[in-house]
Amino acid sequence: MSFLHFLLHFTIFLLLFHEIFSFPSNQTLFLPLRKTHGGHRPLPTSAASAATNRLAFHHNVTLTVSLTVGSPPQDVTMVLDTGSELSWLHCKKTPNLNSVFTPQVSKSYKPVPCDSPVCKTRTRDLPVPASCDPNNKLCHVAVSYADASSIEGNLAHENFVIGSSTQPGFLFGCMDSGYSSNSEEDSKTTGLMGMNRGSLSFVSQMGFPKFSYCISGFDSSGVLLLGDARFSWLGELNYTPLIQISDPLPYYDRVAYTVQLEGIKVGNKILDLPRSAFVPDHTGAGQTMVDSGTQFTFLMGPVYTALRNEFLQQTRRVLQVYN
């Protein structure tokens, strides 16, 4: 499965909109977007001593947005994730978490009970169906990710405020337990902002039919645009259609932003691969989805092998590969 993350370099855009702006007439919001880095993965000692040109490998990169939640408002920082539906916040303080949401002090916090229709109908697109927590009789949700991380807690309603736009009764996960493959990254954020096509996603609940984001190639700044906007200085854009299928397949994510990968070019050479290599199989495995929460591009085995071999062939005189 391939996860494509587009980094757009709109320097003028960033200079004009480095603050939060809102336009009530068409409900367009601009918010600062931050790119944060975790640690580096160092080369082995033997490889480091032999290499004359080394690339720093940032393996913990996240895009974050700041907003307020609850009454009175609490500041939170959330990871922007176009590959997820459910937005959630850490609700239990632990030694490795610097920022958590405290529902006990919010007057607008309302947990969802097991017998609520919301628990049964609104969670239909989640990978794991909601269940009933026998300890507190609340609607229980659990989410897992490709890096083996997982998080679970209870579904709840709360006021989410972003820019000048407030969404009362926003449905989110108030998470109190889980496993993280990267505790350093988790310690810097309060939760995750799900942005896919599902009915529970942040953009769906906030009522924004369109959104976009841009990241500077020179520093850690960026901007998240919620809603539509037209600018006279912005040139004509190219668009790629998103794919939808009606038939349910076990490994196909129907609420993901899926595009059709047509081919891969290394230098000036197009890889000699059949079109079927880029099409999901009968189970749905192999879709190409845009996922801002994934740091790498993942490819199916045959496609990855062809890409790797061609890259090594073209760079064998200038690069030395360290496994």
Instruction: Give the pLDDT score at 19.
Output: 33
As a whole number of angstroms, the distance between CA 61 and CA 81 comes to: 12
Mean pLDDT is highest, among 46-50, 86-90, 207-211, 318-322, for 86-90
Q: What is the pLDDT of residues 280-313, one digit of tens each?
A: 999 999 999 999 988 788 899 999 999 999 999 9
Per-residue tokens: 305? 């092998």
- Measured between alpha carbons, how far is 178 from 180 in angstroms, rounded to an integer? 7
What percentage of the chain reaches a pLDDT higher than 90?
49
Residues shown for the chain: 323
Residues 91-112: tens digit of each pLDDT: 987 767 778 999 999 999 999 9
- The two tokens of residue 188 are 């810097």
Show me where the domains of the chain are located: 7-226
Return the minimum-mean-pLDDT range out of 117-131, 178-192, 238-252.
Answer: 178-192
Q: Model confidence at 186, in pLDDT bands (50, 70, 90)?
A: low
How far is CA 196 from each of CA 86, 130, 257, rounded to the nearest angstrom?
Answer: 9, 18, 7
pLDDT recorded at residue 134:
93
Task: Just list the catalytic residues.
Answer: 81, 291
Question: Position 41: which residue type?
Answer: R
Mean pLDDT of 158-165: 87
pLDDT for 158 equals 98
Taking residues 242-250, what's their average pLDDT? Answer: 87
Residue 36 is predicted with a pLDDT of 76
- Side by side, the strands of the sheet bearing 2-4 are 2-4, 288-290, 258-259
Task: Pick one of 3.90.550.10, 2.40.70.10, 1.10.10.10, 2.20.28.10 as the CATH number of 7-226.
Answer: 2.40.70.10
Taking 80 as the threshold, does the pLDDT of residue 173 lie above it?
yes
| Global pTM value | 0.81
Q: Exposed (0-12), middle (13-18) or buried (19+): which is 231, by Cβ within 10 Å? A: exposed
The H-assigned helical ranges of the chain are 11-16, 45-50, 117-121, 183-186, 202-206, 301-315
Nearest to 100 by CA among 206, 186, 37, 162: 186
pLDDT in tens, 25-62: 356 788 899 887 654 433 334 444 444 444 444 456 78
Other beta carbons less than 10 A from residue 54's beta carbon: 11
Q: In this structure, what DSSP letter does residue 58 have?
A: B
Query: What's the pLDDT band for 183 if we cut at 50, 70, 90?
Result: low
pLDDT of residue 26: 55
Per-residue confidence at 5, pLDDT binned at 50, 70, 90?
very low
Higher pLDDT residue, 51 or 243?
243
Give just the sign of the alpha carbon dihedral 131, 132, 134, 135. Answer: positive
Q: What share of the chain is helix, strand, coil (3-state, %, to 5)?
A: 15, 30, 55
Tell me the C-alpha distance between 127 and 123, whole Å: 9
Q: How far apart are CA 80 and CA 291, in angstroms?
A: 9
What is the model's pLDDT at position 310? Answer: 96
In this prediction, residue 168 carries a pLDDT of: 94
Structure confidence at residue 187 (pLDDT): 64
pLDDT given at position 130: 94
pLDDT for residue 43:
39
